[in-house]
Structure 1
Amino acid sequence: MEMSDTESGQQRFSLRGWRFWIRPVVIVVYSLLFLVTVPLVAVYLEKSQESPKTEAWLIAGVFVLFTVPISLWTILQHLIYYTQPELQKHIIRILWMVPIYSIDSWVAIIYPPSAIYLDTLRECYEAYVVYNFMAYLLNYLTREYELAGTLGAKSQQKHLVPFCCFPVWPMGGIFIERCKQGVLQYTILRPITTLIALICELAGRYHEGDFSPAYAWVWIVFINNASQIWAMYCLVLFYYATKEELKPIKPVGKFLCVKLVVFASFWQAVAIAIVVFVIPFKQKWGWVTRDEMANGLQDFIICIEMLIAAVAHHFTFSYKPFIIQGHNVPWYRSFRSMLDVSDVRQDIAEQVREVGQRVIPKQAPWKRRQKNGFTDDSEKYDELSSLITPSSSDGEMANILGYGERPSYSSHGRVQDNHTDAYDNVERDSDR
């Protein structure tokens, strides 16, 4: 039975019809915030003394004013058309990076003492973004292919320069495991080094831009640099091994968006710290110390760069491929799935356990518990399979949308019977 115009209008303005009214509500709320913020900024500028720092804060604020709505609009569109949660959950987490970076940096410019705390949060989220990008790629590939089998049937992927002398990683589950561990080590290590930097700063032993080994900055930069290079290398190696399978989602632009924001910003901060350490310093610029000036310049540049990143993310992580008419997921499920971090906790726990098993001497084969006269290696296979197992929340959402059943695969590793995939522009196998 067709719905009447009156019933259709009532549904649109009800809680179940949130997709129709959420966008105008967000626009109105942001406009009100804009009308309140601009007079406050004007009052602050009237009371403060003119300095390069104040001018930098004002210019950066203009960029933030345009950056945030672009990013929020893209995130909102993904929530409205939340039809493929195993992919969009990670996309939304990546998209949040831009407003978090821009607002964090803008506040830190005018309140330099808070920069160390704000930068701690920003750098922790940076590591979180790297993990989510790897998870996004894995979830797409494991949905479309029997990934371990597909990679196992390929020719061996050799290491790239400058790690070409390293032993090769066998294609298949082991290759996936090594690449994922290479990314996860940065996800774990970066928050730890950030916390150490915070403690050293509070203790007066950090000294950003000081290359003396007596202070912590040079050591933390070295550790973060090594960890970032290895994580970026593992992402590149994984891309080279799976670039044919990743073609439908156009991965090059996505790789560049993540790498330029996450990895280039780190080297940018190091370069600025070196320049500020070399040039003459003048307090009339508005900063009290060289450290504050280095952080202020870095934050100012980030505010400008985030506008470019917001536009790039809007097109490279577009919501349009996920538009499927007829799907009506309740609003609370979309938001709950976005905020669910159980997959991160599970992955980190599994990888820490795997590393621990390598460090702790393994039990001799003849001492292992045996079943039917054979050594029990089921834990090993369970561990490898868990690398590509979606979280429970993704499975719940997939069942709601009607594609939660486990797919079957062809002899080529391609999904035989799956839901309609908006990304799938590749020709179907001839045997179908």
Structure 2
Amino acid sequence: METTYILAYEDTYGDLYQPALIIAACFAFTASVFSILLIFQHLRSYTNPAEQKWVVAILLMVPIYATESILALWNPSLSMACDILRNCYEAFALYSFGSYLIACLGGERRVIELLEEESEKLLSKPLLEGEVRKPKSEVRTLRNFFLQPCVLGKDLLTIEKFGLVQYMILKTVCAVLALILGLFGVYGDGEFKWYYGYPYMAVVLNFSQMWALYCLVQFYNVTHERLGPIKPLAKFISFKAIVFATWWQGIGIALLCTIGILPKKEKFQTGLQDFLICIEMAIAAVAHVYVFSAQPYQLLPVSEYGKVTTQEKLTLVEKSTKERPTILEKTETETEAPGTSVKESIQDIVVEGGQHVVKDIVLTINQAIEPVEKGVTKIQETFQHISVASGDEKEELEVKVEERDVEEKREVKLEEHVERTSIT
């Protein structure tokens, strides 16, 4: 029976493989072309490096996903390596989206000012009669991050950045660990068995990703009104759709294969995931053309390129023979932004973007290590206090013993003296 099932599966897989590969290749090619053209437009009109470096990083997600998925579908032996690289870039893209929102708000300093303003505004509202206002140290707690993120002020930015960077670090570490376990044959991609490493990593990464996305959602909820000009909701939905589609889709397929609804074969499981990703990336590429358009960076006010004399025109409108009201018409002029060198744009993205990522990673690691160092220091101080206390007790005990010995000697001498006196 099992042999018949395996043969039927092999026949079905063989019949579907070739058409699926051709369809997926067409979608992957379409996705890559749309995304690369859009990236090239941003590189040619690189007028706002603070924002566009992160836009390019987000847009690269589509061709990278599409290329790795079609390669894995074409050669299943590359599936694991492609999946690891794809997951690593997903974490970096999530970090890039958070950095893009910060850049759109004017940079980290401006974001801190905005968050502090929002916090002060909320905390300055009149309280109920008899209610005591809590100090900032009590207001800025982790509990309020879930209930009232607005009151956290600049701490909200710290939590948001920590949430995104921890996912990027964990994703990379788990990817390397998965590669090592795969070499020893104990990774078990898609296998929910206790002696494989896959289920444990899935739990850790699932929690890490959910926390990162939740931090991003909370930051978005506080700043979405300020982000109105860039239409953040469309960008947010389009980006989160990719992240959720790839991650939860992979988990869902693995579960369906585990319970027997889909064929429990690794080639089929990974192949279906790669096929669906190719189709989804084509849809995402088309959406990005509208959501992350380069047009806002191509046409900018001429005032940004030097002094401009604004021309005003006076128009006389005659309503009657006695009145001649004057209407002032003012026109704003836009000019095409000067083109930039693609090489210079890429250099700025790699150098400046890389430095920004490294700085945030170092800061996050320090923030994670700081509580551990404090805990270790506290433990050391406790042990030192215990050892000092025990030393003092020991010294006190020795002093008591010495005092007792001296007292006993005195008593002996006194008895001897009494005996000698009585004899005399």
TM-score for the superposition, normalised by structure 1: 0.66
Is 1:310 the counterpart of 2:321? The answer is no
1:134 alignment partner AA: G
Contact 2:58 2:97 in 1 (8 A): yes
2:22 alignment partner AA: L
Aligned-residue offset at 1:238:
0.2
Q: What is the match of residue 222 of structure 2?
A: 241
Is 1:152 the counterpart of 2:163? The answer is no
Quote the Cα distance in structure 2 between the aligned partners of 1:115 and 1:234. Answer: 31
Contact 2:95 2:168 in 1 (8 A): yes
Please, which moves more after superposition, 166-175 or 56-65? 166-175
Quote the Cα distance in structure 1 between the aligned partners of 2:229 and 2:187. Answer: 46
Quote the Cα distance in structure 2 between the aligned partners of 1:58 and 1:230. Answer: 38
| CA separation of 1:142 and 1:281: change in aligned 2, threshold 3 A | closer
Q: What is the match of residue 40 of structure 2?
A: 76
Q: What is the match of residue 94 of structure 1?
A: 58
Is 1:354 the counterpart of 2:318? The answer is no
Q: What is the match of residue 390 of structure 1?
A: none
Aligned-residue offset at 1:280:
7.3
Q: What is the match of residue 405 of structure 2?
A: none
Quote the Cα distance in structure 2 between the aligned partners of 1:280 and 1:66. Answer: 32
Is 1:118 the counterpart of 2:131? The answer is no
1:172 alignment partner AA: G
Q: Report SS of the residue matched to 2:105.
A: helix
Task: Give the counterpart of 1:290 among 244, 265, 274.
Answer: 265
* Runs of at least 5 residues in structure 1 that lack an aligned partner in the other structure: 1-48, 283-288, 365-432
| CA separation of 1:342 and 1:62: change in aligned 2, threshold 3 A | same
1:338 alignment partner AA: I
| CA separation of 1:208 and 1:115: change in aligned 2, threshold 3 A | same
Please, which moves more after superposition, 196-205 or 87-96? 196-205
Quote the Cα distance in structure 2 between the aligned partners of 1:176 and 1:338. Answer: 23
Aligned length: 308
Contact 1:64 1:303 in 2 (8 A): yes
Aligned-residue offset at 1:290:
1.4
| CA separation of 1:148 and 1:208: change in aligned 2, threshold 3 A | same
Q: What is the match of residue 396 of structure 2?
A: none
How large is the Cα RMSD of the aligned pairs? 2.7
| CA separation of 1:279 and 1:298: change in aligned 2, threshold 3 A | same
| CA separation of 1:255 and 1:168: change in aligned 2, threshold 3 A | closer
Task: Give the counterpart of 2:355 among 311, 320, 342.
Answer: 342
Which digits, 9 at most, give the CA deviation of each residue in 1:304-339, with x for residues without a partner? 111100011111111000014253433321121122
Is 1:53 the counterpart of 2:17? The answer is yes
Quote the Cα distance in structure 2 between the aligned partners of 1:152 and 1:305. Answer: 40
Quote the Cα distance in structure 1 between the aligned partners of 2:167 and 2:337. Answer: 40
Quote the Cα distance in structure 1 between the aligned partners of 2:221 and 2:148. Answer: 17
Contact 2:44 2:341 in 1 (8 A): no
Aligned-residue offset at 1:50:
5.0
Contact 1:269 1:298 in 2 (8 A): yes
Quote the Cα distance in structure 2 between the aligned partners of 1:165 and 1:108. Answer: 40
The sequence identity of aligned pairs, in percent, is 35
Q: Report SS of the residue matched to 2:338.
A: coil
Contact 1:54 1:110 in 2 (8 A): no
Counterparts of 1:126-205 in structure 2, within 5 Å, are 126-143=90-107, 146-155=110-119, 170-205=151-186
Aligned-residue offset at 1:232:
0.6
| CA separation of 1:50 and 1:218: change in aligned 2, threshold 3 A | closer
2:362 alignment partner AA: A
2:266 alignment partner AA: D
Q: Could you list the runs of 4 or more consecutive aligned residues of structure 1 that deviate by over 4 angstroms after TM superposition?
A: 155-159, 162-170
Quote the Cα distance in structure 1 between the aligned partners of 2:18 and 2:173. Answer: 33
Aligned-residue offset at 1:164:
7.6
Aligned-residue offset at 1:205:
1.1
1:331 alignment partner AA: V
Please, which moves more after superposition, 100-109 or 188-197? 188-197
Task: Give the counterpart of 1:330 among 330, 338, 341.
Answer: 341
Contact 2:102 2:108 in 1 (8 A): no
Quote the Cα distance in structure 2 between the aligned partners of 1:129 and 1:250. Answer: 19
1:316 alignment partner AA: V
Quote the Cα distance in structure 1 between the aligned partners of 2:374 and 2:148. Answer: 22
Aligned-residue offset at 1:233:
0.3
Task: Give the counterpart of 1:270 among 237, 240, 251.
Answer: 251
Aligned-residue offset at 1:188:
0.8
Contact 2:43 2:341 in 1 (8 A): no
Contact 1:207 1:291 in 2 (8 A): no
